[in-house]
Structure 1
Amino acid sequence: MFKRIALFLATNLAVMVLLGIVLSVLQGVFGVSLGNNGLLLVMAAVFGFGGSLFSLAISKWVAKRTTGMHLIEQPRNEGEAWLYNTVKRQAEAAGIRMPEVGIYDAPEINAFATGPSRNNSLVAVSTGLLRAMDRDEAEAVLAHEVSHVANGDMVTMALIQGVLNTFVFYLARVVGRIVDGFISGNREGGGGGLAYYAIVFALEIVFGLLASVITMWFSRWREFRADAGGAHLAGREKMISALEKLARTYGQSTLPSQVRAFGISGSVGPGLKRLFMSHPPLAERIQALRDASASAGVVRG
């Protein structure tokens, strides 16, 4: 599990550092002064939001290509017809346009939602889920994913990542300038050389890790909200039953990193590992649904 977490973080940091290098090159090409904080912030925002919004725009294409899924356009059998019609009914209840529906081949019990907007989305389930879960449990999983779409989680995550990327790029250069000035003694002609860029590179990694903690915290929070939405669309007991099935059988996710945060389940480690996980423990999610049910019962009583 730790190896998978490290790989995920390394990939995201590598992308951020690459964009940071390009930003540094353009900073020099266009002669952006190290002291011109306003222009530097604008350039950081362009790169920070540009990367996250581009990833959002191609998210469906990436998901289809990396999973090799089969899209259900004309159901080939009763099972595909049930899957398609269930998503259609839930989408109508949630007030969103019908998502594309797909099945991808994987032994794990999982599903995910992705897409650039509430009305341009994709919901996909694994063959492992269809084999292991009964219709009630599968309905709850689909409702969870439709809730992600209805809540606009993909767009919100992209915007949050854009804001965080912006401040990572910006603060790395502002702090880097201060540190480099201190090292060079603020002497004439000091600063802005290779030492400055080495400091910025290191700071981007540090700030990038801190940004990942914030992103993953929000990801865990929205899982509770998607569970509540799934309970509303499919029924609370169905949602609890689906999560209990996942808790009994869940293994390592084979989803590509681009959509892993939007799967129905994810693993959580102890201590610091938890800070970098996209999903809260299944036991906590189940308890949250039970607590909400108990609270509702008290209010009705």
Structure 2
Amino acid sequence: MKRIFYFLVTNLAIVLVLSVTMRLLGVEPFLNANGLNLNSLLIFAAVMGFGGAFISLAISKWSAKRMSGAVTIENPKTLDEIWLVNIVKKQSQAVGIQMPEVAIFNSPAVNAFATGMSRNSSLVAVSSGLLEMMTKDEAEAVIGHEISHIANGDMVTLTLIQGVVNTFVLFFSRVIGYTVDKVVFKTRQGTGPAFFITMIISELLLGVLASIVVMWFSRQREYRADIGGGQLAGNQKMIAALQRLKSQYESSALPKSIAAFGISGEQGMGLKELFSTHPSLDDRIARLQQNTN
């Protein structure tokens, strides 16, 4: 809760600084005089930006199961199911969270993901391919990685970040559109076509910049979850799991909407890396090896 509180306070401070800056530069008085109330616009943008992000979070378990085909283990029957449930229970107790739902989804890809509304209302799912291709030690480390995502509150924090960037995109795209419409095209009453065209173009461009911020955080949380997996299962097991992922790597079998939550996901080099949800496996392995040394 402290992280969420400080995160919100920080972003409220950013909004305040921007508001004061726009006032000092004369932007706010100009827009207010021409019919655009920045305070009302900011409230609208925040409601829309955070609303969509939190609705996605609220239905994340339901939608993840629907899109991946994951089936919750209600009564473990096979040896793999019994082992999987026991490991999740052991690790969740170790980090002090309530037992997540445990599920398996049918896929040859070696992957797993965690999602949910909160630390104590979450889901851990692994692919059938992971259970088949990984040793128990490697699978234990992967589960530790996913449990660490939950314990770190990554789902909520990512939602907050998404809400903030959504708010800024909605807010500034409309400010830019309104300014261009009034200053460049001299629209006197209401808004003209230039407002809508400029707003849409601004949303697209600002959305690209916003996604870079979100993807950067997504990559950082993968590093942290790797460390957490190493602490829960053992650093060497986590390194071995990532090496196995590297040797068996293929495109993530997860839908794009939840691909960021998988242990194996989008990677890229150069400019493409800016839009990747995951760091390269080589980088992740190197960081863990540094911690071991």
Q: Offset at 1:187?
A: 5.7
Q: Offset at 1:34?
A: 4.5
SS in 2 for 1:112: strand
Partner of 2:268: 269
Q: Offset at 1:181?
A: 2.1
What TM-score results when the alignment is normalised by the length of structure 1? 0.84
**d(CA) in 2 for partners of 1:138, 1:60:** 22
Matches within 5 A, 1:144-159: 144-159=145-160
Q: Offset at 1:256?
A: 1.2
Matches within 5 A, 1:214-233: 214-233=213-232
1:283 maps onto 2:278 in alignment: no
Q: Which has the higher contact order (CA 8 A, sep 6+)?
A: 1
| Deviation string, structure 1 residues 51-101 (Cα, Å, up to 9, x no partner) | 000000000000111122221111011110000000000000011000000
SS in 1 for 2:250: coil
**d(CA) in 2 for partners of 1:272, 1:130:** 34
Partner of 1:44: 45
SS in 2 for 1:121: strand
SS in 1 for 2:115: strand
Aligned residues between the structures = 260
Counterpart contact for 2:180–2:194, Cα < 8 Å: no
Letter in 2 for 1:290: Q
Partner of 1:241: 240
Counterpart contact for 1:56–1:116, Cα < 8 Å: yes
Letter in 2 for 1:188: R
SS in 1 for 2:176: helix
SS in 2 for 1:55: helix
Q: Offset at 1:182?
A: 2.6
Return structure 1 stretches of 4+ with deviation > 6 angstroms: none
In structure 2, the CA distance between the partners of 1:108 and 1:34, relative to structure 1 (3 Å rule), is farther
In structure 2, the CA distance between the partners of 1:215 and 1:187, relative to structure 1 (3 Å rule), is closer
**d(CA) in 1 for partners of 2:267, 2:87:** 30
Structure 2 regions of 5+ residues with no counterpart?
1-33
1:53 maps onto 2:54 in alignment: yes
Partner of 2:210: 211
1:188 maps onto 2:180 in alignment: no
How much identity, in percent, do the aligned residues show? 54
In structure 2, the CA distance between the partners of 1:74 and 1:188, relative to structure 1 (3 Å rule), is closer
1:258 maps onto 2:234 in alignment: no
Letter in 1 for 2:84: L
SS in 1 for 2:227: helix
In structure 2, the CA distance between the partners of 1:204 and 1:292, relative to structure 1 (3 Å rule), is same
**d(CA) in 2 for partners of 1:175, 1:128:** 49
**d(CA) in 1 for partners of 2:100, 2:259:** 18
| Deviation string, structure 1 residues 127-168 (Cα, Å, up to 9, x no partner) | 010110010000000000000000000000001000000000
SS in 2 for 1:93: helix
Matches within 5 A, 1:121-136: 121-136=122-137
Letter in 1 for 2:81: E
Q: Offset at 1:245?
A: 0.4
Structure 1 regions of 5+ residues with no counterpart?
1-32, 295-301
Instruction: Name the Cα RMSD after superposition.
Output: 1.1
Matches within 5 A, 1:107-186: 107-184=108-185, 186=186
In structure 2, the CA distance between the partners of 1:77 and 1:188, relative to structure 1 (3 Å rule), is closer
SS in 2 for 1:199: helix
**d(CA) in 2 for partners of 1:188, 1:174:** 16
**d(CA) in 1 for partners of 2:161, 2:146:** 20
State which drifts further: 245-254 or 260-269. Answer: 260-269
Counterpart contact for 2:181–2:187, Cα < 8 Å: no
Q: Offset at 1:227?
A: 0.3
What TM-score results when the alignment is normalised by the length of structure 2? 0.87
Letter in 1 for 2:66: R
**d(CA) in 1 for partners of 2:249, 2:55:** 32
